Each structure stands twice: as C-alpha cells, then as structure tokens.
Structure 1
C-alpha cells in the first residue's frame, strides 16, 4: 500500500518545496489546531519529500492509540530531547533493553505507597515557596513554578535541596542546567518545523551554544549518583535509591550508572517542565476566575493538606484535568502504523508515522460537545462525563510508553495549587484575555506572567 495522495493540506503548495507557508515555527501545534477548523480531522503537511500526516479529530486520534495497529514513534521534538536525556524513560527507544529494565525497576517508585512517602518532600517545597512570597505584592509565576517543580523532583526523587527558594540562591550548576534546558526546549520546537537543510544549519549553530552547558549538567547529575553509590551520602528511600539498589525483577540486572544519570536528567527535564506548565495554566485560570479559586480554597479547608486530603481533592483535580484537556503540556505525539490500514478513509501504509494532535483532539466538539473550547471543570463530574462516552483525553501519552509519573504530577499539582490558593488571593497583572497566551518550545506553556498576591491571613 502507498500513502494516499488525497489528503487535505494548507495552501498554497509550492512545487518541490511543499507547504512552506502552512507552518508556524514559533507556535506550530496551535497553528495546526486552527488549520483543523478548515482542513478537517486529518490532513497533511509536506516539506520537500517529507509527508507529515496530522490527526486532529478525537475519534481518529483514539483509533491511533490502538496497540494492535499502531506503535509509539520517536520523532519530532521528543527526538531532540535525547540530546539531554539520552536513554531515559521518555526518550529511549522501546527496543532498547534498558527501557524495559528501567520501567520495571521504577514502577514501584510511583505507586501509592511511594507517593505517601514523597508527600512530605512535596509539602516542604510548598512551605518554602509560600514563605518566600511573604512581604511581596507580585510573583513571577513562571519562575516560581519552574523552581517549585524542580525542587519537588530533587527533594522527593534524590533527597537534594537545590536552594531555589533559599536566600542564598541556587547552586551555579543548577542555574547552568536551567539555561541548557531553556535552549534545548526552544530548539526542539522550532527545528521540528524547519525546512530541511536550513534547519540543519541552524541546529549546528545552536548545538554549539548548549553543548558546554549540557556537559556541566551531566557532570552535576553524575556527582549526585556517585555520592550515593560510593557511600558519601546515606541510603535514602527515594527514586535514586530505588534505581541504585533494586535489580530488574525480570533479569536480575541492576541499572548501569550512566542510565541512572539519564533517568535523573529525564525527571529533572521532562518532569519539571510539564508539571510547571500545568501549574501555570491552572493558576492563570484561578487568577482570572475568582469563583474557581474560592472552590479550591473551600476544598482545602474541608480536607486539609496531608496525603489523604490532597489525594481526595475532587474539585481541584477537576480543575487540573480541565487545564490539561485544553492545554496539554505535551500537545501531541507520534504513532507509527504497524499494518497497511485506512484512517479516516485514507490509505496509511505500514511504517508510516502520523502526529496525533492531542491539543486539537481534546477540543473536538464531536467527542466533547459544542462547548469543548470552554474551560468548564464541572464537565469532569461523574454524571457529566457520561455525556462524553467517546471523549479523547491523553495528556500523559498512551500505551506502555505513557508517562510513569502521572500520579506523582497530579498529587504534586493538587497540593501546590491548593496551598497557594489557601494562602493568597491571586490577581493577574495586566489585561486578562479569554485564554492564557501560550508559547511553544517542545512543550506548550503559558507566556510568562505575574500575579498580584494578597495574603488571606489565616
């Protein structure tokens, strides 16, 4: 079977070059979401000889999640992250035996019993962050959520305090890690939509600018691993201890230290970026919708902030889910066809990859109803969900390669959002818009914004 030639595409299509005017390097997936309004639930973008099939309809996107007919494909921005995280869980190839070993070793580290242990570390970050806001009238939410999520991962995962909320400030190596991350995230997004050739040249230039920082970040993480492995730090009940001390239940092998380094970098990079994006979006809505903030405050007062209280915060988690539905931090993922098949009436040969556009599919009115573009946390109530039996919602990916840390991220997010709302009233600095202004750099995250804070005084 050959790839179908009948796909809709953005125009005009230039001979040889292709759909060069149908892409937006700065906001690629948002641009494609708008293209779907006219091109439909499946369309194509062509650059030179490369044909990118984009699936934006909820029902077709769900079909692509079938593990019988489709598999995960490592492509696009995710492939670029390998420059930092190597063979970590997020970027390792499924055929790499280290991926299976790491997944099996780490799964107990994200079970409910482990989350109970991590909760104290999460709460300590919330305490430090809220304390650091004392006496201030404005807070840079982008900076605060970046720092909070990095600290949560470091304290819960590796028993390290990065000093991001201390008066002394962070270690210079941590600052280098943040700078390197900023560069690779921007490159990951923009390079995936470059014209072949031009993008390669631009990539060579950008590679030189972050390779030095990347080497420093790897040395920093190698030191964390070596300090624990060589006994300079005592054993801890955390993710690092799990990776160092637990043999793979299938093979009996332990993870090599270079792979543990890749896993630590994966948690620091992918784990903090996606959770920070969710927190920023949620706080934007709380700062512009006082009714939502008051519901979160009331739930926190009723349930408290221990592990069990946060785990049962249905209202707060509905708000988080709605933020994830409208603005998934990972706005899409690639799937490769295992067999010759049809999708949406078009021929898809075995081996062809498609981009499942979660950002668009999670707003599809055919599966989420006519108000799909509106922010409405009440749609997550059990009775309301019955109205959407074919709903598409995959903010953490799909299949065996779905995000192992999703329960960790949701517990962390519910705790931080509820603690912030309980401590402060939030008001957006600047003019409010209907939706948060977004930017893309491999992930989808709000443009940096600040809020005015007023202590609730109790």
Structure 2
C-alpha cells in the first residue's frame, strides 16, 4: 500500500532526483537512525520520496504527541510490523483494530499483568536471575551480553508465561528446540525488517527468493508453540500463567474463549515481543551501567536499602527504574510507529489528509531538546526523578507505543528487567572496554553484540 500524497511544500532532503526521488538519502541498514539524523536539518516534520513511495516523518516531540490523540489519529500497520503477519497473522501485536480477535485477546490478557498476576510471576523471574548469576560466576568473567540477555529474557517467558523451563541455561528436554526457536525467530525478525523497508522492484524479488526460508522458520516456530499447547492440553494444570489464561479464560464481553489457532499466535506474540524487546533494553542498560562505577555503587546502595529481592523490594528500586526509563528514552527497542489521520489534520502547519500515514520516530522525539532540554542526547537517569520531570511538562516518552495498542506487557518487562539488573549488580562489578554503544535495526532497535567484564564481588 502506497500512502497518499501530502502537500508538496513539506521539507525534504536536498538533491532530489527526478523519478528516483530522495533515494540517495536511503540507509537500508540503519533507516530510522538515518531519519533521526535528517531531522536535525529538516525539522520536526519532513517527507522523503523514493521510486514512487512517499513517506512523512514526525520527529518533533510536540507533533508526535499530537499524533497520539486517538480522536484524530489511529494506529496503522505498515513496514516491518506488517511483515510479522506472515508467521503470526492474528497475534495481539499485528492484528487489525477492527478484527474482533484483537479486542477479545486484549480483554482476556489484561488481568495477566495486574499486580496479583505479577506477584505470581516473580518467583519464576527470580529463578532465571539465579541461573544467570550462577553461569557468570562459573565462567571466565567475559560476558557475551547479547547471548546472555537473549537467553534470560526467553527463559523468563518460558518459566513465568508457560510454567516450563526452556533449557536456555542448562541442558533440559526443551533445550535443542528452544535454541532452534530463538534462531528461527531471530532470522524471521531480520527478514521482516529487510522486507518491510525494501524499495519497489527490489523488495518483491527479494521476498520471493526468501519465501522458502520464511516458510522453514515459520514452521519451526509453529511446531514449538503447538507442542507447548498440546502438552498443556494433555496435562492440564492450575498454574496461574499466561498459557492457562490463553486456553481457559473467557472474554468478559463476549463470553468466548480464544480459538485454538489464535492461542498459537498469542504464544508467539509473547515469545517474540517479550524476549526481543526486553533483551534489547537490558543490553543497553548494562552497557551504560558498566561504564559508570559511581552509578553502580548508588544502585547497590538502593538494593541494600530494599533488603532483598522479593516482589515488594524490587518494585521499590526506583533508581534502577530511572535507568531503565532513560535507556528506553534514548534507545527505545520499538523506535517508531505509523499513525493514520482519521480526518484532515494540521500538523506543524502542514495539511495531512484523512487516511494518510505518518511515521512517528520515537527515537528522535524522545531526544527533542525543545522539551527535554539541551542535554537531551546525554544519558542521565536522574532526569526521571519527579522534581526533574516537572521541569519538562511537554516531554514525549512513548517507548511502549501509544493508545489502546500500546504494549500490554510493559509492567512484566519492567519488573523482569529491574530484578535481573539488581541481581547482576549485587553479584558482580561490571566494566566495559570503552567501546561506544552501536545500534542495529531488525524490526527492533538493539545494540550490536558486545562483551562486558563481570568480576564477582567479595561481599555479595
């Protein structure tokens, strides 16, 4: 689908070429970071055209906030997210708003992230943190952060969401299948990102060439989720986990349960969305913390004051939450999203016609100096302290998306990340070699793999 045209007086990159448009300013590998850089010279709203495609980008915080108004704007599926429909067509993440399955699933899952449910997940999360600390303690102190955080986030989903050990930290019956699942999902994420950002002509050809690979990876994902579902059906439990909710809960509005084929898609939703984005966040957090010894000590002081790692203690670790929020501000794993105008809109002085899509680049709007201050590009977790936040009343902070389609599992992810960071810092002194954080894009914004040094603490 090609978005409809907007007014021709929107700013655009220099050097536009007839027919080809702004193709010289396309970056296939880091497209959103490239658009963020263009915003520095083009302003808070601009367009780019290439080979007949026309896109409008919103990078200013105030305009991004305007696009969050559900009365005048709505979510639009386009780009890499649309590609995810190829392997989980009716998942909560990608299904259209007007599909009744979306509302049904959303209503069924809402209680799964209330405080009572979160308390029930805590022990499973803590067991993963214990396994992570044990693995690092037995190693040589050089940590492959990408692998460690991928496995930790995936294992949390398995144990807390499905009440089963996936075997990502030690040999278990599911180990081989779980690693194969992670590999297949990672490959699909890469291909979805490439296909969703591909140019006309090249894109369809590349899609056909990769079709068999997509089918193989999709089949691996479906086998994994189908087996989890079948085993639970064969051996029912009274576990208060996401899987039982998917299989047994009824929609309070319709009285219906989720269709079984939709349960498969929802299992994939929480595996794909839950592990990838949380792992990306944790990698960013550990990089910044490892580079700041003073911050590490301040966090350890907070951990000591909380007196342990039970549910109540973890929810009170405010400094870690500030660090998480600051990393979400600087490097949101979901760096942007499409919005569609419900009616004709005036956006920054430009007319956006009804039905036209804009791409809100949260990565840029989160760093808008007009609302976050002159130091908006700097890492400063203390900016999330209440007194500091009050000095930025127009701030824009939407790392979880916006409106009714925002991430339903945000509290799950934040609690998990807080606990894992607290356990790591209580057990290890972290350091890096000083290499700057570099980001890659594959549907999500995630750090390039890096290593850190983890030395066991004598007084842990």
Question: Which of the five TM-score ranges fits, normalised by the shorter chain?
Answer: over 0.9
User: 2: CA distance between counterparts of 1:354 and 1:5?
Assistant: 15
Q: Which residue of 2 aligns with 1:32?
A: 35
User: 1: CA distance between counterparts of 2:5 and 2:450?
Assistant: 48
Kept after mapping to 2: 8 A contact 1:177/1:214:
no
User: 2: CA distance between counterparts of 1:225 and 1:419?
Assistant: 32
Q: Which residue of 2 aligns with 1:100?
A: 103
Q: Which residue of 2 aligns with 1:446?
A: 447
Deviations 1:96-153 (A, max 9, x none): 1011000000100011110000000000000111111123221101000000000001
Deviations 1:318-362 (A, max 9, x none): 000000000000000000000012101111100000000000000
Kept after mapping to 2: 8 A contact 1:173/1:217:
no
Q: Which residue of 2 aligns with 1:149?
A: 153
Q: SS at the partner of 1:85? A: coil
Query: What's the CA shift for 1:441?
Result: 0.7
Q: SS at the partner of 1:46? A: strand
Q: Which residue of 2 aligns with 1:345?
A: 349
**Aligned partner (choices 198, 203, 212) of residue 202 of structure 2:** 198
User: 1: CA distance between counterparts of 2:207 and 2:352?
Assistant: 31
More displaced 10-residue stretch of structure 1: 188-197 or 410-419: 188-197
**Aligned partner (choices 412, 416, 419) of residue 412 of structure 1:** 416
**Aligned partner (choices 202, 208, 212) of residue 212 of structure 2:** 208
Question: Is residue 14 from structure 1 mapped to residue 17 from structure 2 by the alignment?
Answer: yes
The 1:170–1:25 alpha-carbon spacing in structure 2 relative to 1, beyond 3 Å, is farther
Q: Which residue of 1 aligns with 2:67?
A: 64
Question: Is residue 160 from structure 1 mapped to residue 160 from structure 2 by the alignment?
Answer: no
Question: Is residue 260 from structure 1 mapped to residue 263 from structure 2 by the alignment?
Answer: yes
Question: Is residue 421 from structure 1 mapped to residue 425 from structure 2 by the alignment?
Answer: yes
Question: Is residue 322 from structure 1 mapped to residue 323 from structure 2 by the alignment?
Answer: no
Kept after mapping to 1: 8 A contact 2:5/2:54:
no
Kept after mapping to 1: 8 A contact 2:129/2:420:
yes
User: 2: CA distance between counterparts of 1:194 and 1:246?
Assistant: 40
Q: SS at the partner of 2:332? A: coil
Query: What's the CA shift for 1:172?
Result: 2.5
Superposition pairs for residues 108-123 of structure 1, below 5 Å? 108-123=111-126
Q: Which residue of 1 aligns with 2:49?
A: 46
Kept after mapping to 2: 8 A contact 1:228/1:235:
no
The TM-score with structure 1 as length reference comes to: 0.97
Query: What's the CA shift for 1:245?
Result: 1.1
Q: SS at the partner of 2:210? A: helix
Query: What's the CA shift for 1:11?
Result: 2.7
Q: Which residue of 1 aligns with 2:403?
A: 399
User: 2: CA distance between counterparts of 1:353 and 1:144?
Assistant: 38
Superposition pairs for residues 359-374 of structure 1, below 5 Å? 359-374=363-378
Aligned length: 454
The 1:59–1:232 alpha-carbon spacing in structure 2 relative to 1, beyond 3 Å, is same
User: 2: CA distance between counterparts of 1:86 and 1:422?
Assistant: 42
Runs of 4+ in structure 1 off by over 4 angstroms are 167-170
Superposition pairs for residues 222-241 of structure 1, below 5 Å? 222-229=226-233, 231-241=234-244
Deviations 1:132-183 (A, max 9, x none): 1123221101000000000001111101101011046963222222222222
Structure 2's unaligned 5+ residue stretches are none
User: 1: CA distance between counterparts of 2:173 and 2:424?
Assistant: 21
User: 1: CA distance between counterparts of 2:5 and 2:41?
Assistant: 26
Query: What's the CA shift for 1:233?
Result: 4.3
Structure 1's unaligned 5+ residue stretches are none
Deviations 1:65-107 (A, max 9, x none): 0001100001111111222322111111111101100000010
User: 2: CA distance between counterparts of 1:170 and 1:419?
Assistant: 26
User: 2: CA distance between counterparts of 1:227 and 1:287?
Assistant: 41
Q: What value does the CA root-mean-square deviation take over the aligned residues?
A: 1.4
Q: SS at the partner of 1:157? A: helix
Kept after mapping to 2: 8 A contact 1:122/1:152:
yes
